[in-house]
Amino acid sequence: MTKTVIDCGNCGPDYNAIRKLVQSRFDAVVLQTDALEDTLALLGQRPVDLVTVNRKLDRDYSDGLDVIRGIKADPRWAHLPVMLITNYEEHQAEAIAAGAVHGFGKLQLSDPATACLLEPYLGAPKSVPSR
The residues spanned by each domain of the chain are 3-122
CATH code given to domain 3-122: 3.40.50.2300
Q: C-alpha 42: how far from its chain's center?
A: 14
Would strands 3-8 and 28-33 be described as parallel, antiparallel, or unpaired?
A: parallel
The structure's pTM equals: 0.94
Residue 6 DSSP SS3: strand
pLDDT per residue as tens, the chain (131 positions): 899 999 999 999 999 999 999 999 999 999 999 999 999 999 999 999 999 999 999 999 999 999 999 999 999 999 999 999 999 999 999 999 999 999 999 999 999 999 999 999 999 988 754 45
Give the strand order in the sheet containing 82-85: 28-33, 3-8, 50-54, 82-85, 101-104
Q: Could you give the CA distance from residue 15 to residue 20 in angstroms, rounded to a whole number?
A: 8
